[in-house]
Structure 1
Amino acid sequence: MTPDSKPEAQIPAPQIPGTGGRRRGALTATPQWAASGLRLLISVAVTFLGLLAVTFFIGRVVPIDPVLAAVGDRASADTYERMREELGLNLPLWQQFGHYVWNAVRGDFGTSVLTSNPVLTDVRRVFPATLELATVATIIGIIVGIPAGVIAAVRRGTWIDHVIRVIGLMGYSVPVFWLGLMGLLILYAKLDLVAGPGRIDLYYEGLVPTYTGVILLDSAIAGEWDVFRNAVSHIVLPASILGYFSLAYISRMTRSFMLEQLRQEYITTARVKGLPERTVIWRHALGNAWVPLVTVIALSYGTLLEGSVLTEIVFSWPGLGFYITNSLLNADMNAVLGGTVVVGCVFIGLNLLSDLLYRKLDPRAR
């Protein structure tokens, strides 16, 4: 290197006019987002593979013979063996798992013994009912649970706080099926304030075209307000019972998050500056508590989608939980495992959504 030459590292890199230093930041941010997205996809794929492994294991350890359930107990030995080969149960276990994963990725969960339909077709038919019930219940839980938790935190140690906590404790302790039976006995049989079991009266069956499978939406889209009111009268009781369970969990967690936020220094600073107490509580404290609350609400929603089995049975609600229960009682393992995988996928999707919302609400997680 000659005395008047410069090291290559000291030569300034050419810049595009008007961009300044933004080009390097954009190039740095792009790989970070790509790496984050790749990690997220790998995490979802591994979780889904674990879900399939668990359901595959369950299908092999339960004392139910899928071949016998398909051909009946009076089938001949040749028929039994032929069906066993068609189901692939004569293959080594690792090959069975490979076929199971490949079929699940393609949405093929086999044929339901109970309905003789593809399991995915049955799930598409019954899942909107569960989605409708869980969504209305979650909305009730959010509308009532979050304000109750905020008020309990602000009035900590007072009688209001104790009343809200006792109500929440009852929501955890009282069995859902007992609440459902008492609700039907008092509000339906005695007072006639709500409609009875079922999703809609038989008189209104088939009057509304199926757009989404959710009767409340389909009837509103079609302008059939009589059907809409009848569907509301049917859903209000089971959704309120599930919503009570949801608000008990949401109010408790909201209270805990709010107590943590109210101890922070920025709350004291806001009060010293003379901001109204309403602004301090509902804007600043609750605004920061929304970050963990997103995860709580997503998990609560997933729990209602998966855990509304007893409510659907009590109210004869034709949802996914009712379908899985009937399939299990009739040894229809294809339907049971297919429904379980769908519920697991819903949980994975809700966790993914909550993670994305968490990153959006909290800049530190980006």
Structure 2
Amino acid sequence: MSRAGSLRGYVLVRIALMIPMVWVLLTVVFLMMRVAPGSPVSATLGGKLPPAEIAEREAALGFDRPLIVQYFDYLWDAVRFQFGTTVTDGQTIGSLIVENGGATLTLTVAALVVALVFGLPLGLIAGRYRETIPDAFIRVFAILGYAAPPFFVGLLAQLLFAKNLDWLPASKMASPITQATAEVHTHILLIDLAIDGNWDGVWDVIQHLILPATTLGLLVMGVFIRLVRVNVGQALGGDYVEAARARGVSERRVVSRHAFRNALVPVVTVMGLQAALLLGGAVLTEQTFSWPGLGTRLLQYLNSRDYIGVQGLITFFALIVVFISLIIDIVNALIDPRVRY
């Protein structure tokens, strides 16, 4: 089989396997939202509206139908990327994703960049100088970063860098004047300001982004540090590294060109697996820093018992994680041909 043919077959198999995975995820989300007694409308608006109006809203949303009919309607809507309309504010999940998804995307991408920029070099240093004092400090830092709850780290960061030192803003995505003067082009504030040439506004957003992105990035940074450390250590003990040293290749080049490059292959795979961790951490981080993303809206709907909003956002998060996993599998197959067989 040709190289292109094997890659095409691998991609088709991964897509075929993704279908039952998505179906199971959608089914679990649907059943979890139906465990609570009563309909989502009565759970959200019960006691606030008369029973007749609640019954009218339930009929309009289809909650008076049999459960199996609701299930198939839910699956059909999910196939068409229609995740319903919230009960509390009557907003479609699609418009909610468009308006608030940019903030969550900005935070998660910035957190991933922070994790890569600091995690990869620290993992390389720890792998190069295994069982030394720098290695011990880096390993402790990685464990603490992974184990510490994001909301706790966020509160400490706000206390130190925002309140005591007054270096960075404590919350929000930007100052009120920046948000008021920004023109909406992409619903991603940082890009919208750059399109308008408002570089003062761009710097304002970056300042507001540093603390929440670093807080969320610490959650993933520990994984990257430990992964690179282990793989660099294994690579440095390989025969091809000993052969390179025997040829007179400098130790710096052996580490950077041989050990480190081979250690990056599993990092690509793990990056996809960390998407769910980043999205889960974003919920707590956004709440801590009053970041106007999907995580903040999800907690608002949870507090108001708006199960339609919760169901729609969780479904969207699940589909995003599955899609990212598919992309990472394809990229991994391009980097390492052995994965295809």
TM class by shorter chain equals: over 0.9
Greater alpha carbon shift after TM alignment, 274-283 vs 326-335: 274-283
Q: Output the aligned Cα RMSD.
A: 2.0
Matches within 5 A, 1:179-218: 179-218=153-192
Match of 1:290 among 260, 264, 276: 264
In 2: Cα distance, 1:70 partner to 1:302 partner: 28
- Give the 3 Å change call, closer, same or farther, for CA 280–131 of structure 1 in structure 2: same
- Give the 3 Å change call, closer, same or farther, for CA 48–169 of structure 1 in structure 2: same
What stretches of structure 2 of length at least 5 have no aligned partner? none
Contact residue 7 and residue 333 of structure 2 kept, 8 A:
no
TM norm structure 1: 0.87
Matched, 1:262 2:236: yes
In 2: Cα distance, 1:289 partner to 1:65 partner: 51
Write out per-residue CA displacement over residues 243-290 of structure 1, whole angstroms, 9 at most, x where no aligned residue.
222211210111122222222211111111211112211111122222
Contact residue 174 and residue 204 of structure 2 kept, 8 A:
yes
Match of 1:162 among 133, 136, 152: 136
Partner of 1:356: 330
In 2: Cα distance, 1:333 partner to 1:214 partner: 27
TM norm structure 2: 0.93
- Give the 3 Å change call, closer, same or farther, for CA 208–79 of structure 1 in structure 2: closer
Kindly state the Cα deviation for residue 132 of structure 1 after the two structures are TM-superposed.
0.4
- Give the 3 Å change call, closer, same or farther, for CA 310–31 of structure 1 in structure 2: closer
SS for the counterpart of 1:286 is helix
Partner of 1:109: 83
Kindly state the Cα deviation for residue 75 of structure 1 after the two structures are TM-superposed.
4.4
Partner of 2:221: 247
Partner of 2:22: 48
Write out per-residue CA displacement over residues 82-103 of structure 1, whole angstroms, 9 at most, x where no aligned residue.
4333333343333221110001
Contact residue 39 and residue 63 of structure 2 kept, 8 A:
no
In 2: Cα distance, 1:71 partner to 1:236 partner: 39
SS for the counterpart of 1:156 is coil
Kindly state the Cα deviation for residue 327 of structure 1 after the two structures are TM-superposed.
0.5
Contact residue 71 and residue 83 of structure 1 kept, 8 A:
no
- Give the 3 Å change call, closer, same or farther, for CA 34–311 of structure 1 in structure 2: closer
SS for the counterpart of 2:85 is coil
Greater alpha carbon shift after TM alignment, 88-97 vs 165-174: 88-97
Partner of 1:153: 127
Partner of 2:285: 311
Matched, 1:320 2:294: yes
Kindly state the Cα deviation for residue 74 of structure 1 after the two structures are TM-superposed.
5.4
Kindly state the Cα deviation for residue 30 of structure 1 after the two structures are TM-superposed.
6.2
Q: Percent identity?
A: 32
Kindly state the Cα deviation for residue 307 of structure 1 after the two structures are TM-superposed.
2.1
What stretches of structure 1 of length at least 5 have no aligned partner? 1-24
Partner of 2:31: 57
Larger Rg over CA atoms: 1
In 1: Cα distance, 2:187 partner to 2:277 partner: 21
